[in-house]
Chains A and B, each alone.
Chain A
Amino acid sequence: MRQVVSLLRPRLWSFKNRGHAKKGGIRFFVFGGIGLFFWTGIFAVSYRVLVYFQRVEDIGDILAYKLLSMVLLTFFSLLIFSSILTALSKLYLSRDLSLVHSLPVPREKIFLAKWIESTLDSSWMVIVYTIPVFISYAIVYESGLFFYANIALALFPLCIIASALSALVVLAAVVILPASRIRSIFVFLGFAVFIILYVAFRLLRPERLVNPEACSSVLVYLRSLSAPASPLLPSTWAFDSLKAALSGDVRNSLFHAALSWSGAVFLAFVAVWAAKAVYFRGFSKTQAALARPFQTQSKGLNIFFSFLPGPARAVAIKEIKTFWRDQTQWSQIFLVGALIVIYIYNFSVLPLEKSPIQTAYLQNLLSFLNMALAAFVLTAVTARFAFPAVSIEGNSFWIVRSGPISIRAFLWIKLFIYLVPLLILSEILIVATNLLLHVTPLMMYLSVITVFLLTPGVVAMGIGLGAAYPDFTSENPAQSVTSFGGLMFMILSATYIGTVTILEAGPVYTVFMAGIRGHGLSYLQWAWVVGSFSVAFLLSILAIVLPMRFGRKRLLVSLI
């Protein structure tokens, strides 16, 4: 164990040394403030929902327990997803692995140290942001101190189980699939994530919670609500323990917590045992990954980009090739794909016909909100792919700097490379969801045009702010989105989308209502419509030009 502690020590010392660094105080407070804001928000929403459930006679407790069960299942799914990606990175891709594997430490101890690190990294944020939910349960149910202690007692083994299962999946994947085709691992992980998300989503069956009519009688509805989740699920053990603690049944609570802990210890043991057998084999294979994962035809790309001048063409082709050959992008692409499928699926099951509000009005209202939501999805995807586009140059950036291409041209090429696929993605998203909503042709045209205008602005903000706050030294440039610049991008993009949506909302409502009432628009209303749309258009132009200029200026200053 001493060696495991020694292997973990650099991480602790690094953390301590970071704490001693004077700089970053403002950032700490900004991030801390935002974190606290979200934490308080989660607490307020959970508390409000639980108080509401308490007022529902007879089934209030059932609903609260069902919610707790769903929270724990979601918590467990998130942990599995986060642990798979972290374990793969910690166990096989970390830069310090060549150092630690050269040291006289048994491989299973290296695994154990890396696995502990991975467990902490993948769990802490999920724990921090689910604790307000549990605290709200404690307050609403007026439970004693034991419940608070039981939160830790029930959640920690759940984190260990998720991390151990993920480590076993990763250990098996790296050994089964030839490391020379490590891309396959990421494809495999992408599918795994999709399946986990889909299964978790279907297990929750959220539509039944709000739709008693789906059941043949109240009894069936109540039964479906109070039906226990599978006893084989680790989240059920945590749920049983927390539920017993809420009702003051200490003995039963401890029993289920013990069940959870025994599962955790057993799986951790199995993971270490498996690592002893196969970890080094996988690590060795990973280093031997030579095969080119994706064939891109230089000739085709050359012809496609023949309209560009030489240096610009070179950067464009390099960008496309390196993107497709960077295997770390694959899991993210699959994740984004999975989220989009779920997003579209949600629209297909909306019970519009049951709404008391007039359907045509509701459909158009939803379509309007959908524009903003699609733009927020675009922001998330841009944050992941376009924002790190400059940082991803890393140590190779000197080639661009010393080449016969200006930073301006370099950034604009980046913008167009990412704009084309993101524009196609956004339009598919908006058209597909609008078709599912059966919106009017006016709303369809408006959505398509608005998204067409919003996308370049959002992508330009991603590229521009990514250039303004680059991180060329990061081990994983994709993580640069969690930096100060990433936060700025998210805030600015959300503000931009919100402003354009608000600018369009009023006029669209006026036009829509005039259509329903059969009135024409007055001159003043026409002026308002034209003015609002003109401002939205102007804003979209500024959203492209200003961030790109800001990014170029800051990047040039940082390079001096």
Chain B
Amino acid sequence: MIRLKGLSKHYGNIKAVNRLNLSVSPGEIFGFIGPNGAGKTTTIRMMGGLLAPTEGSVIIGGVDMARRPEKAKKKIGLIPDQPFLYEKLTGMEFLQFTADLYGIKQDAFAEKAGKFLNMFSLFGRAHELIESYSHGMKQRLAISAALLHDPPVVIVDEPMVGLDPRGMKMVKDLFRTLAAQGTTIFMSTHTLKLAEDVCDRIGIINKGLLVATGTLTDLKHAADMGEVDLEQVFFQLTEEESAS
């Protein structure tokens, strides 16, 4: 469902992402972890069509992002870490705006908007201006907008930022449900526990290079470690890479 082929992004001499090759299957939850500045957000921005790669390609559901960006974007629900929302719109108006651009029919919109607003406990405040929302509410609204068109691929950058424990549980359950229904989820996170709990496979990126990828067991083998948690594997692999 997602294929990254030799994906690179250079900022002058800095190689933010360096020849990234990766495939994520339908229904899979892929965790993308790495230290600060490793290239996670740059990768996500290229996958979302916000940034042109220096080299390589992003293929979403068989569609090349560079060649047919609109078609590829239709298959994606993108949730950035700090989503931009029009502060002077109400929550409902923002969802309507998103629905219009994804070509969602009016009757289907009403049903879906109601469903997500209820699910994320926003229904009662749907007609208030977004500027009056808390950070967590804004994050929940951004997630609702991203899922409104039933995307086969969800790309999410730091999904738990600003969410309370109830919100976090809700998102975890939602991702599991979506994946069970065949949605592919590509998730960048610093929360290693979340990656360990939810992800089927995990990729570790450091200094723009994908240093390891696989299930938690695969990563433990790669790090040559026994019964340890993801945190220890992460430190082992990223420190090895930094030292080399």
Could you tell me which A residues sit within 8 Å of B by CB distance? 2-3, 6-7, 9-10, 13-15, 17-18, 95-96, 98-99, 101-107, 180, 280-281, 284, 287-288, 290-291
Contact = CB atoms under 8 A, between A and B. Distances in A.
A102 B49 contact: yes
Given A96-B86, A102-B73, A287-B51, 18 more contacts: A9-B97, A9-B100, A10-B89, A10-B97, A13-B88, A14-B86, A14-B87, A95-B84, A101-B49, A102-B50, A104-B73, A104-B102, A105-B101, A107-B69, A180-B11, A284-B52, A290-B11, A290-B12
B12 A14 contact: no
A103 B102 contact: yes
Among A17, A96, A106, A290, the most chain B Cβ lie within 10 Å of the Cβ of: A17
B87 to A, nearest CB: 8
B15 interface: no
A103 to B, nearest CB: 5
Contact of A98 (B50, B74, B93, B102): B50
B202 to A, nearest CB: 24
Interface string B87-107: 111100110011011100000
Nearest 10 pairs of A and B residues by beta carbon: A14-B88, A284-B52, A6-B100, A104-B73, A104-B74, A10-B86, A104-B70, A99-B84, A102-B78, A103-B101
Given A10-B86, A14-B89, A101 B101 contact: no
Contact of B73 (A14, A96, A103, A280): A103
Given A284-B51, A287-B45, A180 B12 contact: yes
B101 A288 contact: no
B71 interface: yes
Contacts of B88: 10, 13-15, 17-18
A291 B97 CA distance: 36
8 contacts: A17-B129, A18-B88, A98-B50, A103-B98, A104-B73, A106-B70, A281-B52, A284-B52
Contact of A6 (B48, B85, B101): B101
Contacts of B90: 17
A373 B97 CA distance: 49
Nearest to A6: B100
A288 B11 contact: yes
A107 B93 CA distance: 23
Contacts of A104: 69-71, 73-74, 101-102
B114 interface: no
A281 B69 CA distance: 13
Nearest to A7: B101
A15 B48 CA distance: 29
A12 to B, nearest CB: 10
A99 B83 contact: yes
A98 B82 CA distance: 10
B159 interface: no
Contacts of A17: 88-90, 93, 129
Interface of A, helix, strand, loop or mixed by DSSP: helix
A398 to B, nearest CB: 15
Interface of B: 9, 11-12, 14, 45, 48-52, 69-71, 73-74, 76, 78, 80, 83-90, 93-94, 97-98, 100-102, 129
Contacts of A14: 86-89
Nearest to A105: B101
Nearest to A11: B86
Contacts of B70: 104-106
Nearest to A178: B12
A2 B9 CA distance: 34
B86 A98 contact: no
Contacts of B101: 3, 6-7, 103-105
A168 to B, nearest CB: 21
A118 to B, nearest CB: 17
A3 B93 CA distance: 16
B237 to A, nearest CB: 27
B11 A101 contact: no
A18 B97 CA distance: 18
B60 to A, nearest CB: 11
Contacts of A18: 88
A315 B87 CA distance: 31
Contacts of A284: 50-52
Query: A14, A101, A102 — which one has the most chain B CB atoms within 10 A of its CB?
Result: A102
B50 A13 contact: no
A68 to B, nearest CB: 40
Nearest to B47: A102
Given A13-B89, A13-B93, A107-B69, A98 B84 contact: yes
Nearest to B83: A99
Contacts of B49: 101-102
Contacts of B89: 10, 13-14, 17
Nearest to A181: B12
A290 B14 contact: yes
B49 to A, nearest CB: 6
Given A6-B101, A9-B100, A96-B86, A287 B73 contact: no
Nearest to B103: A104
Given A96-B84, A98-B84, A102-B50, A291 B100 contact: no
B7 to A, nearest CB: 14
Contacts of B71: 104
Nearest to A180: B12
A288 B53 CA distance: 11
B82 to A, nearest CB: 9
B62 to A, nearest CB: 16
A502 B93 CA distance: 55
A103 B49 CA distance: 9
A14 B83 CA distance: 18
A10 to B, nearest CB: 4
A6 B93 CA distance: 11
Nearest to B78: A102
A284 B52 CA distance: 6
A223 to B, nearest CB: 56
B84 A101 contact: no
A261 B74 CA distance: 36
Contacts of B102: 103-104
A95 B85 CA distance: 9
A98 B129 CA distance: 21
A95 B80 CA distance: 13
Nearest to A17: B88
Contacts of A95: 84
Contacts of B51: 284, 287-288
Nearest to B96: A9
